[in-house]
Structure 1
């Protein structure tokens, strides 16, 4: 028995020693009303080495950057609808210790209308009905059936906080945020989402040969995914939402989308090129949940692929995807102020 215990203790001691060689930064992200902000991208840059470490805030607003080599770090945070946060003081990380750095981020605009304050919006947005229980349905030909109206994945669901950008893309992202997102395509009623789902309501219509998503608060508001075995056309011109085909890997539907132009912004202000490829993997483990894993691969702008994960929940049968008419009475553009 002793001969078994001693190696185990040595292994444990080695692992503990390795852990103690690193430090941690933890804290919470909140807005000006001290309401937690989920889905914020937090980045810590080592001043000496230039190495970048990333995390995302979860629903409670908390975040953790672990396995950080000792040193001095610059801390930044971005989240759609908020001003870019840059920590004015350097955070010093020491081996085996945890440093706390809470992040207050400010709004781009003041939401003063009664009932439209951020805290009230947050309560409405995150308070979703409990999804139904039961087995996942299947189509007549035996494939998982994704049909239904889905509440999109909430921010902070998992995956990497943001892509690791090439220098030109990193500079352009900073320029966009420094200019208060003044040139954001969304404010001009142009398409702004390259994925087949968003965080609001998404209706899925599925047949043997194609799958269509009808998306609330989205332009143009739909995606077509061909399931009939066709490939991407050779002469497909660059477009806002690309060309999508789907194939089955067991019970997982893999959606491959290419043919994008370079005009949309990813996340808050991340640029991409026409080399962007979006791969979405859908899996319905039970009646009430739809697992969504999306990989954004763009060798023209990213150092490596960027992956996000989330879980959509089946909405009550009374929910409907409402129309989104952006151009009507759009007064954003004339009030956008950059630097």
Structure 2
């Protein structure tokens, strides 16, 4: 690491990286904080927070306070500045809603920035504003699995991607949000300042490593394409219990119905009972872990709620045609099993 700077260092007139944050109404706090903190830690030596190597500014359409989705208020905001003052404009989205006056002002601002050739970064639902501005036509964009269905249903000329953390498409960068915002920020820090500064930021933030954009999102989701509301609710519960399976009776109680009623509605909607669906969901999670992590097969089996490795491997072979160890030795075959891992199960039973 470079030697510590003396307290009388003059702020440089041209930092290596300048970022403007466009904070939309009810913006999500975690991806915003993760992104800006990565910049903050790379900007100065130690944890002194001076904007030396990086600069950032927080903006709303009129400079008013920005209220996050959790109610925390960002007061140090200013009106939209000339886009040419920034290397990137980062749009932090929030709770999905119909665009209002503030959103329209942001959309107009993003169009002006695009006309000036400024790279635009959509974080979390910030990508929706880029799409509404007409700046993502016929492009791939990264979105959280949680919002994949919303994006796919609302914008037919966009290819949503929900199997990675972020996507660099040149002058458009999109990020699923959450902790992945720190990975994207570190990616930009490394590009402009160097790898050492990116690693420094992530280390202080207690990240074990810099995750590349191609890294998969945490787990598959299927409920968005299930028509029955009670079955969707049950699947949400099951997704939270991947490592600790529920009995059908316990699941029925959690969602407020009888065992018989739950089994009937699962079979009518998906063609299988809740017990088999739960096991298949856990196995698909195991497939994801096998592909995207370095965990041992024993650890994966435990994470998916199987009593022992033999039990996990036997059901895995039945589901995917090969043992976990065999698929791990053949990454291409393993990847083929993960084609559209988010919706394949449901589509196979509803089409």
Query: What TM-score, normalized to structure 1?
Result: 0.23
Q: Which has the higher helix share?
A: 2
Q: Which structure has the higher relative contact order (CA within 8 Å, separation 6+)?
A: 1
Q: Which has the higher strand share?
A: 1
Query: What TM-score, normalized to structure 2?
Result: 0.22
